Amino acid sequence: MTVFISAAARSAAADAVAALVDGGAAAGTLQIRSGTQPAGPDSTATGTLLAELTLHDAAFGAAAAGVATLAGTPLTVTAVASGTATWFRVLDSDGVAVFDGSVGVSGADLLVNTVTVSTGLDVEISDGTMTMPASG
């Protein structure tokens, strides 16, 4: 049987996941990576770490309709490696992975100015969202 939840429950779930990012003694981090996104945050990260930044604490605003939006955008980070950005991972301040998502210039969970990342150059994050699935 499939369980369906209300919009309020979707927002509460998104807020609970966002609270995990803010867990620990400091702000969480966001890693931008190349390669194939793994099955989920419980799987070992794959690809090359292209850039990593410390998020605001709190990392996300309050969710609406099951969608939590990354706080403080636009955010800028300097690349530590070169490659094509394909996915990202959000971790708490203790390095525990919380969730993964897609990276792109449009139509992705994390929107960046370019997916062609070069060492030493800036990557700008214009928007990021975490969405809990809708019912039905």
- Which tens digit of pLDDT belongs to each residue from 8-50? 999 999 999 999 999 888 999 999 999 999 999 999 999 999 9
The total of other beta-carbon atoms located within 10 Å of residue 77's CB is: 19
Average pLDDT, the chain: 95
Q: What is the DSSP string of 22-52?
A: T-SSS--EEEEE-S---SSTTSPP-S-EEEE
